[in-house]
Amino acid sequence: MEKREKNSIIRTEVLCKSFLVDGEVNNIIKNVDLDIYEGDFTVIMGSSGSGKSTLLYSLSGMDQVTTGKVILDGADITRMSERKMAGFRKEKIGFVFQGINLIPNLNVYENILSPTYKTGRNKKEIEKEIEDMLARFDMLNQKKKFPTQLSGGQRQRVAICRALINHPKILFADEPTGALNSSQGQHVLDVFSEIHKDGQSVVMVTHDLKAACRGTRILFLRDGRIDGELQLGEYHKEEEKEREERLYHFLQERGW
């Protein structure tokens, strides 16, 4: 098989993140040197409290790091002013959270539209894109509905559309199925698999085996350090069982 060099889209250098709690320094992310590759569906796993969310917030520029570097799409985001960072985030990244955070008084269409304000993009083009996305994810009938009129899974799919509307280089997701039942979760995971197949780079945190096995590369975080990785290759539904078994074995070896 031809070996293809992958582009590093995020690189960290001795990344550390600490919090000050009651006057004491609490080191959460410890000297992480990591590359995230373009086109990968990278999954970060690890037990609760291991620092997964903290790492994701550092990688995506949602939060400032304590020391070390994060190079995102060629730019050192640890040296950017807050103002420049805000613009950079809007252009380069999309973020999906566990808790659904749609704007309650905007309908589905308006929620997806909201990150495009002041981007100078063509209105007609955006409108068409939103229609296409809603149709693709089986949501066209919900276009005029408000968040409270949707199921949790539908709301999360809207959140994904909203995160994608500015064509981010990377889509980040923190436990995106964590608040959903299993069938709603599957539906949301299918959306992730589909956009990844189209070439979208994804970085997702999860502690759910079924969610994780959608990824092409699994990173295991333990106590703020990367403690092993597993290459799973591209996801195919027929191979789900084997993938889950490989992943389960990998996790068991790490005392999951």
CA atoms of 74 and 77, how far apart (whole Å): 9
DSSP string, 22-91: TTEEEEEEEEEEEEEETT-EEEEE--TTSSHHHHHHHHTTSS--SEEEEEETTEEGGGS-HHHHHHHHHH
* Binding status of residue 108 toward ligand ADP by CB under 6 A: no
Closest distance to Mg ion from the beta carbon of 204 (Å): 12
For the chain, strand residue ranges (E) read: 8-21, 24-37, 41-45, 67-72, 75-76, 93-96, 170-174, 201-205, 217-222, 225-231
Nearer to ligand ADP, 48 or 148 (CB): 48
Cβ proximity to ligand ADP: between 1 and 21 the closer is 21
Q: Does 52 bind ligand ADP (CB under 6 A)?
A: yes
CA-to-CA separations, 136 to 22, 130, 139, in angstroms, rounded: 49, 10, 8
Query: How far is it, in rounded angstroms, from Cα 176 to Cα 207?
Result: 10
Q: Give yes or no for residue 156 binding Mg ion (CB under 5 A).
A: no
Q: Which stretch binds Mg ion (CB under 5 A): 39-47, 52-60, 139-147, 212-220?
A: 52-60
- In the list 6, 7, 14, 19, the residue contacting ligand ADP (rule: CB under 6 A) is 19
Q: Is 92 in the site for ligand ADP (CB under 6 A)?
A: no
Segment interacting with ligand ADP (CB under 6 A) among 4-12, 18-26, 66-74, 228-236 = 18-26
Asked whether position 28 contacts ligand ADP by CB under 6 A, the answer is yes
81 binds, among ligand ADP, Mg ion, none (CB under 5 to 8 A by kind): none
Q: Among Mg ion, ligand ADP, none, what binds residue 142 when CB lies within 5 to 8 Å by partner kind?
A: none
Of 53 and 154, nearer to Mg ion (C-beta) is 53
**Among 42, 50, 58, 107, contact with ligand ADP (rule: CB under 6 A):** 50
Torsion (CA) 117, 123, 128, 129 in degrees, nearest 10: -30
Q: Which is nearer to ligand ADP, 47 or 166 (CB)?
A: 47
Q: Number of residues in contact with Mg ion, rule: CB under 5 A?
A: 2
Could you tell me the CA-to-CA distances from 27 to 12, 18, 54, 77, 219 in Å, in that order? 17, 4, 11, 21, 20
In the complex with ligand ADP, the residue whose CB is nearer, 19 or 84, is 19
53 counts as binding Mg ion under rule CB under 5 A: yes
Using DSSP bridges, classify how beta strands 93-96 and 8-21 pair: parallel, antiparallel or unpaired. Answer: unpaired
- 54 forms part of the interface with Mg ion (CB under 5 A): no
Task: Indicate which of Mg ion, ligand ADP, none lies near residue 46 (CB less than 5 to 8 Å, by partner kind).
Answer: ligand ADP
Q: What are the residues whose beta carbons fall under 8 Å from the beta carbon of 19, sequence distance 6 or more?
A: 25, 26, 28
Tell me the CB-side half-sphere exposure of residue 231, using CA atoms within 13 A.
3
- Which residues form the interface with ligand ADP (CB under 6 A)? 19, 21, 26, 28, 46, 48-54
- Which residues form the interface with Mg ion (CB under 5 A)? 52-53
